[in-house]
Chain A
Amino acid sequence: MTGNQNATDFDQLTELAKSLRKDVLIMTSEAGSGHPTSSMSAVEVMTSLYFGGIMRYDASNPSKPDRDRFILSKGHASPILYAVLAEAGYIKKDQLNTLRKIDSPLEGHPNMLRVPGVEASTGSLGQGLSMGLGHALNAKLDKLDYNVYVMMGDGEIQQGQVWEAAMAAANFNASNLVAIVDLNGYQQTGPVSSVTNPAAYAEKWKAFGWNTVEVDGHDIKATHQALVDATAYSDGPSAIIAHTKKGKGVSFLEADFSWHGRGVPKDRLEEALEEIG
């Protein structure tokens, strides 16, 4: 399997995170719609996962039975998934600017039938963890050694199905399953705190029987360590609560949650890219 198995070069990962953020901005700006801010909060976690030696995968063999799986349950953050899959070699980089176009496999939400490396078709929030549990249970059935990572939004976990999956995973002692909650503080219409209390999220996952850690989701070393630990944990499923910022890296996006679902207009793209550096 490929994936960086050597000592992790955090400077390199930091640079890579920047370039992935730029990919997200450019592709959603070109598309004129999409969810850049939801993608940008997830960048460091996904960079660590795919390029920090956590996940074992082979882009030339996307259905290899013992590959590690990543499921983007918050499917609207597809731009960061596509940017990562391009960097990892599943798809071509020049495909990225076809996002959301009629002939492009890079749909608004990930479609597993059209994009290699996409493990689940998502976009209706709340379904990824259950599918991830299915993948995780299969490892035992097929006597394979692989891990499953599922990323959810902090608004998304208001869905009851998430907690159905959480209870079942703990019951099945699915230690090869890792849930990541991208706690960026906002959902579509406002702050998460106006609907549920995100400060109590870690306690909830613990109460549901998960090995739970909270981490600064933009600290590449810290996210990497959290993923290493969660992967190594063998006594049940693990949850990583990643404290992040929606739109991280571009101040005007961070400042206004109503960017949710909107691409950066072309005349502000340069400004946004410059800030990322």
Chain B
Amino acid sequence: MTLGTRAGLEMGKATRDAFGRALQEIGASNDKIIVVDGDVANSTRAEWFGKDNPERFFNVGIAESNLIGVAAGLAACGKVPVAASFAAFLLCNAYDQIRMSIAFPKMNVKLVGSHAGISIGEDGPSQMGIEDVSLACSLPGMVVMVPADEQSTRKATQQMIEHVGPTYLRVGRGDVPAVYDENVDFQIGKAITVRDGGDVTLIANGLMVSAALDAAEELAADGISARVLDMHTVKPIDQAAITSAATETKGIVVAEEHLHNGGLGSVVASTVTSTVPCKMAFVDLDDKFAYSGDGDALLQEFGLTGEKIAEEARKIVQG
């Protein structure tokens, strides 16, 4: 992984690993937690919980809509079900079930989608969740989180369990740079200012936070001071952080490993236009499916890099 190199970040664990470990730990003391799996628990890392608590683990088979319905039923009985699968299959295959059985009746189900983004690489587009954030955000009451690294995913997992109501947590497959240590101040709905700056703001989530930090480093060399906000919660969005950025800096670049329509960029843009309009640019997957290939190389080919973010930021600063 080349992301995070310029910013001098060390490699850390994959966010799915952090989720799996945190779930295992929390699950040991909270017997309300039930995991519902769709035959991918070794991939999502929910199997670590499953091995410790076989009686609280259900593999309903390769049947995501069934998975969601079962989780909804458990939630109706007061359990705290964690419904984990690939982001693509969970959100896309079972969208109506998530809408009708979970979102509408406000069921306390914790959706977790792994293998998000094109960085999964070789398995190709059918397995890459690149529209999941948009789908999750479209549902009233859904909390949507896209943590950047291991430590913030740990905290996101804890808070997802504590939060009462439907949530969606997006995690990735591969190892990613460590942005934070264990003291990270992660709160649902509150952006983290990873780096302060006054010329331009880079808003990112997931592994693009590392890319934004690379960009900030590159911009600093040009004498441009960039603020980097980790917008790990896409919904509810941190309006205050966005309006401050729009007021105090010349504009905002949003970077995400997701399709353009309906992702973090759309949410930030709608916040900006209804509060303090400012210049904006977007670094994302545009309107295209990807293809198979080395994950790192795909990030380069699709322009999900610090260089691309810096280029867009320069345009904003130079007007």
User: Chain A binding site: helix, strand, loop or mixed by DSSP?
Assistant: loop
Among A32, A107, A156, the one with the most B-chain Cβ atoms within 10 Å of its Cβ is A107
Nearest CB of chain A from residue B59's CB, rounded to whole Å = 6
Does B7 count as interface, using CB distance less than 8 angstroms? no
Alpha-carbon distance A183/B292, docked complex (angstroms): 28
CB contact under 8 A between A155 and B124, given known A102-B297, A107-B291, A189-B39: no
| B23: A residues at CB distance < 8 A | none
Does A187 count as interface, using CB distance less than 8 angstroms? yes
Kindly identify, within residues 85 to 139 of chain A, every residue whose CB is under 8 Å from any CB belonging to chain B.
Answer: 100-104, 106-109, 111, 114, 121-126
| B61: A residues at CB distance < 8 A | 155, 158, 187, 195-196
| A124: B residues at CB distance < 8 A | 88-89, 92-93, 126
A 136-161 binary contact with B (CB < 8 Å = 1; else 0): 00000000000000000001101110
| A155: B residues at CB distance < 8 A | 39, 61-62
Q: Are B92 and A160 in contact (CB under 8 A)?
A: no
Q: Are A102 and B292 in contact (CB under 8 A)?
A: yes
| A104: B residues at CB distance < 8 A | 292
Does A194 count as interface, using CB distance less than 8 angstroms? yes
Q: Are B62 and A108 in contact (CB under 8 A)?
A: no
Does A31 count as interface, using CB distance less than 8 angstroms? yes
Alpha-carbon distance A122/B292, docked complex (angstroms): 14
B 51-78 binary contact with A (CB < 8 Å = 1; else 0): 0000000011111011000000000000
Does A75 count as interface, using CB distance less than 8 angstroms? yes
A 160-183 binary contact with B (CB < 8 Å = 1; else 0): 100000000000000000000000
Kindly identify, within residues 258 to 304 of chain B, every residue whose CB is under 8 Å from any CB belonging to chain A.
Answer: 291-294, 297-298, 301
Q: Are A109 and B40 in contact (CB under 8 A)?
A: no
Q: Are B89 and A111 in contact (CB under 8 A)?
A: no
The total number of A-B Cβ pairs within 8 Å is: 96
Nearest CB of chain B from residue A224's CB, rounded to whole Å = 29
| B92: A residues at CB distance < 8 A | 124
Q: Are A102 and B291 in contact (CB under 8 A)?
A: yes
B65: which of A33, A108, A160 is its contact (CB, 8 Å)? A160
Q: Are A102 and B65 in contact (CB under 8 A)?
A: no
Q: Which residue of A lies closest to B50 (CB)?
A: A189
Kindly identify, within residues 74 to 88 of chain B, every residue whose CB is under 8 Å from any CB belonging to chain A.
Answer: 88
Alpha-carbon distance A154/B66, docked complex (angstroms): 17
Question: Which of B41-49, B155-163, B164-172 lies on the face that meets chain A?
Answer: B41-49
Q: Which residue of B lies closest to A123 (CB)?
A: B126
Alpha-carbon distance A31/B292, docked complex (angstroms): 11
State how many residues of chain B have any CB contact under 8 Å with chain A: 31
Does A217 count as interface, using CB distance less than 8 angstroms? no
| B291: A residues at CB distance < 8 A | 102, 107, 111, 114
Does A79 count as interface, using CB distance less than 8 angstroms? no
| A111: B residues at CB distance < 8 A | 124-125, 291
Does A5 count as interface, using CB distance less than 8 angstroms? no
Alpha-carbon distance A188/B46, docked complex (angstroms): 14
Q: Are A160 and B127 in contact (CB under 8 A)?
A: no
Among A114, A122, A158, the one with the most B-chain Cβ atoms within 10 Å of its Cβ is A158
Alpha-carbon distance A160/B38, docked complex (angstroms): 13
Nearest CB of chain B from residue A200's CB, rounded to whole Å = 14
Does B122 count as interface, using CB distance less than 8 angstroms? yes
Alpha-carbon distance A134/B63, docked complex (angstroms): 22
Does A34 count as interface, using CB distance less than 8 angstroms? yes
Nearest CB of chain A from residue B214's CB, rounded to whole Å = 22
| A126: B residues at CB distance < 8 A | 62-63, 93
| A107: B residues at CB distance < 8 A | 124-125, 291-292
| A190: B residues at CB distance < 8 A | 59
Q: Which residue of B lies closest to A154 (CB)?
A: B62
Does B123 count as interface, using CB distance less than 8 angstroms? yes
B42: which of A102, A103, A125, A188 is its contact (CB, 8 Å)? A188
A109: which of B43, B59, B93, B126 is its contact (CB, 8 Å)? B126
Q: Are A33 and B62 in contact (CB under 8 A)?
A: no
Alpha-carbon distance A195/B41, docked complex (angstroms): 13
Q: Are B93 and A108 in contact (CB under 8 A)?
A: no
A121: which of B41, B60, B126 is its contact (CB, 8 Å)? B126
| A114: B residues at CB distance < 8 A | 291
Q: Are A159 and B126 in contact (CB under 8 A)?
A: no
Alpha-carbon distance A190/B39, docked complex (angstroms): 8
| B47: A residues at CB distance < 8 A | 189
Alpha-carbon distance A188/B39, docked complex (angstroms): 6
Q: Are A123 and B127 in contact (CB under 8 A)?
A: yes
Q: Are A188 and B293 in contact (CB under 8 A)?
A: no
A195: which of B60, B93, B126, B294 is its contact (CB, 8 Å)? B60
A 31-65 binary contact with B (CB < 8 Å = 1; else 0): 11110000000000000000000000000000000
Q: Which residue of B lies closest to A101 (CB)?
A: B293
Kindly identify, within residues 72 to 90 of chain A, every residue whose CB is under 8 Å from any CB belonging to chain B.
Answer: 75
CB contact under 8 A between A187 and B123, given known A102-B293, A102-B298, A124-B93: no
| A108: B residues at CB distance < 8 A | 122-124, 126-127, 292
Q: Which residue of A lies closest to B120 (CB)?
A: A108
Nearest CB of chain B from residue A52's CB, rounded to whole Å = 29
A-B contact pairs, 8 of them (CB 8 A): A33-B122, A102-B294, A102-B298, A122-B126, A158-B60, A158-B62, A189-B39, A194-B59
Q: Please list the residues of chain B having a beta carbon within 8 angstroms of any beta carbon in chain A.
A: 37, 39-43, 47, 59-63, 65-66, 88-89, 92-93, 122-127, 291-294, 297-298, 301
Q: Please list the residues of chain A having a beta carbon within 8 angstroms of any beta carbon in chain B.
A: 31-34, 75, 100-104, 106-109, 111, 114, 121-126, 155-156, 158-160, 187-190, 194-196
